[in-house]
Chains A and B, each alone.
Chain A
């Protein structure tokens, strides 16, 4: 098991964002989290990355508790996130963005090799490597965001709405990359509002409503589930 979350509760002031949430992710899996806007999906990812401190509960990563570990140590340990809205550094170049992804690493030669690897995966980024990240199209920016997250050599990759605002062709390309990454051994936790997309590309899934997990199971089974169909798959 790569990630174990037990009875996690998170508050923003007096507002309860996550309540008593438990889930687990096994190594090599793609697990999806689906839910409506405001269900708490982003809060969960922010908590997993250490940007938000939970009120109670426990997070274990590779059997070690990381509930209060600072965010930089989590990246070092192999948890990397592609945040909602991509979070690119708009006035830095594409290459600088990618290199910042490797900020916790010291192995200069390997970093250069991984940079080439990202360029191999997304050839357009090599062409644009000297361009300011903010000048790229939405799809190219998402490629930078994914590539940047890969530069830390993650064992567990968290993605927050990678399909948001992108043309279907680009979404296809991004998700193909995710499938490749899984083949290469990266575990993926995918947060998506687009439930079709999420269930089509995952092994298992959780359904989040008002900060609580209300359903869990194999993605195929959930796709056939009546209440999931009614609420998230458009009947």
Chain B
């Protein structure tokens, strides 16, 4: 029982990070129809920038904000690149994001290094014991921050003018333009928002799993699987998708073998694509494809 509970906690922690990455996929996809395969690199960038800002002697809080801000800028830069080639097909733009991912990885290798890095946990090394299972403060922080971000986004999409404008753009871009909504502003916002969310995930996860220039590959793919599982057009579906993948992964790693851990997300994703291509939570029929 304790064992199961421990696995669930581990799964939830990682699952929340997948959820954050997955939400980034859906936010950009909804606004622009682009699947951004550099999403994982934003997670990496958040963590790596944070590591090197701290190493450079910048205090925790400013470093935190700076790391999020800089990653958001990397998101805006990606938007700019897609905008420069806006006459290209959707497929070309997706390949462009793959190129950008490779570029970011290379840049991280050159600007920073190839070593594995970690960060001191924000709330210290302590942990809670729940039903015999331990949960580190940092893992708790990952969960709390993710819940806050999800709640914040929910509020943003349901209650604010700009959030509703983003939904309008995802439902009918032409009609949205007729309302006087600037697609360009919505795109810039969605790319920077997706990057910022991912960077928070990267910064919070680093004390737990460590980071280096290529952690983004796997995190990006898992986030993508989370988004597909929940439904690519639904940010909150991606949260559920991320949590499901995280938990399944932890259970497989715990009860079978950690060798199979990474396969879990992709098996689930493939099953979803075969049997419910709209994702688990596509009931409202808001589909772009």
Chain A residues in contact with chain B, CB under 8 A?
Answer: 46, 49-51, 70-72, 74-76, 80-81, 83, 87-92, 96, 99-101, 103-104, 148-149, 152
Given contact pairs A100-B165, A100-B168, A103-B161, A89 touches B175 in the complex (Cβ within 8 A) = yes
Q: Which of B134-190 contact A (CB under 8 A)?
A: 161, 164-165, 167-168, 171-172, 174-182
In the complex, A41→B207 CA distance in Å?
Answer: 61
Tell me the bound Cα distance from A203 to B168 in angstroms. Answer: 35
- List the B side residues contacting A49 at CB < 8 Å: 177-178
10 new A-B pairs (CB below 8 Å) besides A83-B174, A103-B180?
Answer: A49-B178, A50-B177, A88-B175, A89-B171, A89-B176, A91-B167, A91-B286, A99-B161, A99-B164, A100-B179
CB distance from A3 to the nearest CB of B (A): 16
CB of B180 within 8 A of CB of A51, answer: no
Q: Are A75 and B179 also in contact (CB < 8 A) when A89-B168, A100-B165 are?
A: yes
A92-B178 CB under 8 A given contacts A87-B172, A103-B161: no
Cα of A101 to Cα of B164 in the assembled complex, Å: 12
Instruction: State in angstroms the CA–CA spacing of A51 and B174 once bound together.
Output: 7
State whether A76 and B174 are in contact (beta carbons under 8 Å apart), knowing that A92-B167, A100-B164, A103-B161 are contacts in the complex.
no
The 5 closest A-B pairs by CB, nearest first: A75-B180, A87-B175, A104-B180, A71-B177, A72-B180
Q: What class of interface size applies to chain B in its complex with A?
A: 10 to 19
Chain B residues within CB distance 8 Å of chain A = 161, 164-165, 167-168, 171-172, 174-182, 284, 286
Give the interface SS of chain B, mostly helix, strand, loop or mixed.
helix
| B168 / chain A contacts, CB cutoff of 8 Å | 89, 92, 100
In the bound complex, residues from chain A placing their C-beta under 8 Å from that of B178 are 49, 51, 71, 75, 80-81, 83, 87, 149
Note all chain A residues with C-beta closer than 8 A to B161.
99, 103
Which among A46, A76, A100, A104 has the highest number of chain B CB atoms within 10 Å?
A: A100
Which residues on A sit within 8 Å (CB–CB) of B167?
89, 91-92
Q: A15–B171 Cα gap in the complex (Å)?
A: 28
Q: Which residues does chain B contribute within 8 Å of A99, judged by CB atoms?
A: 161, 164
**Residue in B closest to A149 when the chains form the complex, CB atoms:** B178
Bound form: Cα–Cα A88–B168 in Å:
9
Q: Is the CB of B164 within 8 A of A92?
A: yes
A46 → chain B closest CB, angstroms: 8
Task: Give the distance to chain B from A59, nearest Cβ to Cβ, in Å.
Answer: 16
Is the pair B171, A101 in contact by a Cβ cutoff of 8 Å?
no
Residues of A contacting B175 in the complex (Cβ-Cβ under 8 angstroms):
83, 87-89
Structural contact, A71 and B171, CB atoms closer than 8 A: no
User: Could you list 21 A-B pairs, sorted by A, with CB under 8 Å?
Assistant: A51-B177, A71-B180, A71-B182, A72-B181, A72-B182, A74-B180, A75-B180, A83-B178, A87-B178, A88-B175, A89-B171, A90-B171, A91-B167, A92-B164, A92-B168, A92-B171, A100-B168, A103-B161, A149-B178, A152-B179, A152-B180
Q: Quick check: A103 and B177 within 8 Å, CB to CB?
A: no
- Residues from chain B with Cβ under 8 Å of A148 in the complex: 179
Residue of A nearest to B286 (CB): A91
For residue B177, which residues in chain A have a CB less than 8 angstroms away from its CB?
49-51, 71-72
Residues of chain B within 8 A of A75, CB atoms compared: 178-180
Q: Considering the chains assembled together, what is the distance between the CA atoms of A221 and B174 in angstroms?
A: 36
| A96–B179 CA distance with the chains assembled, in angstroms | 12
CA distance A74 to B176 in the complex (A): 13
Known: A96-B164, A100-B165, A103-B165. A89 touches B180 (CB 8 A): no
**A149 CA to B178 CA in the complex, in Å?**
9
- CB neighbours (8 Å) of A152 from chain B are 179-180
Given contacts A100-B165, A103-B165, contact A91 B171 (CB under 8 A): yes
